[in-house]
Amino acid sequence: AQTVTQSQPEMSVQEAETVTLSCTYDTSENNYYLFWYKQPPSRQMILVIRQEAYKQQNATENRFSVNFQKAAKSFSLKISDSQLGDTAMYFCAFRASFGNEKLTFGTGTRLTIIP
Amino acid sequence: DAEITQSPRHKITETGRQVTLACHQTWNHNNMFWYRQDLGHGLRLIHYSYGVQDTNKGEVSDGYSVSRSNTEDLPLTLESAASSQTSVYFCASSEHESGGTEAFFGQGTRLTVV
């Protein structure tokens, strides 16, 4: 079974600064997918970024980027030029390959952007 | 636009009552999932389905059941509601393929068992 660990329950950062959220996982799979989801106060789950394990290049989406270290089983999220709208819960999630497609989530990191 | 909707958004029920939470998606996805969200636990998988007539237990399935009679719907039933089942429930769907496609989530249902 896979496990996902987020060791930072809460973080806060000044607006416009850069913040990194940590995520580690454990799996015996070789091919899998990793995701970061954002949950603002509205409770809606929003996909921020995804990474395929077979790709060595780190995924980027505008101000969001990941540092994927497959050997270390680490998948951190970097938010650059943070904005007030980034205030939310952030969940790291793991999905195995075809045929085993359920998501396993970490416990989340509550991020607060301070004006 | 395709979407996934849950109903009701909020519900209060009494201990021992049977409760059914609805989930309907118009993505035509084969995969559907039910999660519960609790502080300190993140989202935990209750039940999931990879297609019509297919259902599987997740990590916290005790006291819950699902059925999949068509592609669009996966209702979640609490057979005899308990206070420990007070939680926020999320339904999700995703495509059944190897491409690592994202899961789409409903708005969540806040259930309170008193």
Q: How far away is chain B from the Cα of A82, in angstroms, using its nearest Cα?
A: 23
Q: Which residue of A has its CA nearest to B106?
A: A44
Q: Which residue of A has its CA nearest to B88?
A: A43
Cross-chain CB nearest to A101 (options B58, B94, B105): B94
Tell me which chain B residues have a C-beta less than 8 angstroms from the C-beta of A97: 98, 100
pLDDT along chain A (115 residues), means of 10: 93 97 94 94 94 91 96 97 97 85 94 97
Cross-chain CB nearest to B43 (options A33, A50, A91): A91
Kindly determine whether residue B107 and residue A44, on different chains, have CB atoms separated by under 8 Å. Answer: yes
Beta partners for residue B92, in sequence order:
B33, B105
Q: Is the C-alpha dihedral spanning A48, A52, A56, A57 positive or negative? A: negative
Q: What is the pLDDT of residues B33-59, one digit of tens each?
A: 999 999 889 999 999 999 999 999 999
**Cβ-contact A88, A32 below 8 angstroms:** no
